[in-house]
């Protein structure tokens, strides 16, 4: 019997107290589906897909700001591809592109800086969304633009940090499957602090064996009845994380309140550029007015993100909302829970 | 946008690394990692190497199971 089979056997035969574990990371959601893990879990273990896709929690007002920059200010918008079809109040960035806006999909923030360097007659704005994992790359882009003397590059920020979300969502589940790559930046202290507050979880990697092992350890710990934390991804996540990443983000950015789509405003859960870097802050540079995004549809992404319902319980799922015609951000993003349920089976 | 890619470091110079991710070579920022050497494996995210990979998943999970699932 292989070691992996032991973890699987434990999960299949788990007969402890009911266990609700929330996978925070969208990549975890997809990998768990793709590996078929949902199908082998004991009925006493419920997986809940949480708020860990940056695209899914980006508010409508952010899309409206990007559309404003593209259409009213004539900026070239550079962005990860997932954001292009996320609906805004009046239109998505794809809609803005249809009206003549310049929307460029890039692989990374540094590619956006390269574009700005090669197109100095354009004002290039990078849509800076993401969690602790992505934010270092965003500020490295600003640092590069400064070093190269580029005055035509800026960030529209919607960066977020996870601890506030863990606390806001802590009552939605019995434990978190913490996102491995967030914690390779932050280290493990945040999770230890959560454990002190009674919020349990395990940091998990992304292979099938890593996910099975992390889930089995979490279930076993849950059955023991005490708050717990275990780093189940030690080959990448160290206790100290990445001091260099934390330091460079702290140099360029400071915490701010942030709106999470479907959840609301979580105090000090966002990151914005410090005042001394205002020339690289698109919100200040282009004096964007205060845009109030409007959510108009019956889409229940907010309830999905909080683990209150499964995607299939949304009245739009698989009907008005599907990957070809997404209504909500959770269906737009390839890492979204609705996208995963649609792709791998909405019956689970 | 959040997917991390594991990649092998081919070369490092001036804070920039050339990495090989399943045969695809890419230039990524090495600014966040000290003493990165060719031959090491890293996790790449949004154009930056964010962490060294210090073991394979089999060894990692074997140790975890030994400690927590016996």
Domains of chain A are 3-54+164-231 (3.40.50.11750), 56-162+241-285 (3.40.50.11740), 301-343 (no CATH)
Q: How far is B37 from chain A (nearest CA, A)?
A: 16
Q: How far is B34 from chain A (nearest CA, A)?
A: 9
**Site from A86, A111, A213, A240 to mutate, B interface, most B CB atoms within 10 angstroms:** A213
Using one digit for the tens of pLDDT, what is the confidence trace for A222-281? 999 999 999 999 999 999 999 999 999 999 999 999 998 878 899 999 999 999 999 999
In whole angstroms, give the CA distance from residue A223 to residue A175. Answer: 12
The answer for residues whose C-beta is within 8 angstroms of residue B23's C-beta and 6 or more apart is none
Q: What is the pLDDT of residues A193-216, one digit of tens each?
A: 999 999 999 999 999 999 999 999
User: Please, what are the domains in chain B?
Assistant: 5-68 (2.30.30.140)
Residue A347: the pLDDT is: 60
Q: Tens digit of pLDDT per residue, chain B (70 long)?
A: 667 889 999 999 999 999 999 999 999 999 999 889 999 999 999 999 999 999 999 999 999 999 998 8
Model ipTM value: 0.94
Average pLDDT for residues A96-122, to the nearest whole number?
97
**CB-CB contact of A6 with A316 (8 Å):** no
Q: How many helices, marked H, and strands, marked E, lie in chain A?
A: 17, 11
Instruction: Decide: A209 and A217 in contact? Cβ < 8 Å.
Output: no
Verify whether the Cβ–Cβ distance A26 to B2 is below 8 Å. yes
Say yes or no: B56 contacts chain A, CB-CB below 8 A.
Answer: yes
Residue A14 at interface with chain B, using a CB cutoff of 8 Å? no
DSSP of chain B: ----EEEEEEEEETTEEEEEETTEEEEEE-TTSTT--TT-EEEEETTEEEEE--S-HHHHHHHHHHHH--
In sequence order, the 6+-apart residues with CB closer than 8 A to the CB of A34 are A344
Q: Tell me, yes or no, if B47 comes closer than 8 A to chain A by beta carbon.
A: yes
Say whether A244 and B61 touch across the interface (CB within 8 A): no
Q: Average pLDDT over chain A, rounded to whole?
A: 93
The size of the A-B interface in CB pairs under 8 A is 135
In sequence order, what are the residues at sequence separation of 6 or more whose Cβ sits closer than 8 angstroms to the Cβ of residue A346?
A311, A312, A317, A318
């Amino acid at each position: 019997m292989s070691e992996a089979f032991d973890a699987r056997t434990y999960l299949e035969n788990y007969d402890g107290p009911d266990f609700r574990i929330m996978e925070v990371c969208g990549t975890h959601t997809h990998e768990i589906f793709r590996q078929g893990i949902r199908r082998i879990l004991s009925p006493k273990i419920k997986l809940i897909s949480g708020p860990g896709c940056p695209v899914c929690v980006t508010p409508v007002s952010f899309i409206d700001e990007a559309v404003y920059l593209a259409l009213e200010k004539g900026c070239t918008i550079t962005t990860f591809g997932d954001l292009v079809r996320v609906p805004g109040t009046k239109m998505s960035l794809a809609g803005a592109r249809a009206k003549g806006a310049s929307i460029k999909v890039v692989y990374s923030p540094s590619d956006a800086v390269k574009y700005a360097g090669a197109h100095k007659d354009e004002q290039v704005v990078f849509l800076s969304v993401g969690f602790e994992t992505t934010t270092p790359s965003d500020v490295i882009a600003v640092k590069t633009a400064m070093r190269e003397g580029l005055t035509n590059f800026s960030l529209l920020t919607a960066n977020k940090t996870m601890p506030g979300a863990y606390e806001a969502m802590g009552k939605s589940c019995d434990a978190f499957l913490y996102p491995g790559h967030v914690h390779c930046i932050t280290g493990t202290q945040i999770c230890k602090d959560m454990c002190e507050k009674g919020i349990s979880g395990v940091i998990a990697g992304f292979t099938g064996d890593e996910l099975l092992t992390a889930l089995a350890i979490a279930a076993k710990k849950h059955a023991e009845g005490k708050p717990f934390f275990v780093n189940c991804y030690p080959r990448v996540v160290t206790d100290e994380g990445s001091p260099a990443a934390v330091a460079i983000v702290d140099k360029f950015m400071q915490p701010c309140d942030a709106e999470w789509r479907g959840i609301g405003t979580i105090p000090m859960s966002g990151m914005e550029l410090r005042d001394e870097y205002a020339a690289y802050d698109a919100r200040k540079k282009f004096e964007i007015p205060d845009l109030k995004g409007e959510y108009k549809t019956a889409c229940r992404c907010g309830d999905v993100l909080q683990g209150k319902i499964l995607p299939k319980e949304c009245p739009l799922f698989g009907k008005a909302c599907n990957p070809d015609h997404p209504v909500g951000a959770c269906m737009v993003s390839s890492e979204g829970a609705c996208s995963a349920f649609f792709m791998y089976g909405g019956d689970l | 946008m959040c997917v991390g890619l594991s990649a092998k470091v081919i070369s490092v110079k001036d804070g920039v690394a050339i990495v090989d991710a399943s045969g695809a070579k890419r230039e990524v920022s090495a600014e966040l990692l000290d003493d990165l050497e060719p031959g090491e494996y890293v996790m790449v995210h949004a154009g930056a190497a964010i962490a060294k990979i210090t073991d394979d998943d089999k060894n990692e999970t074997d140790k975890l199971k030994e400690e927590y699932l016996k």
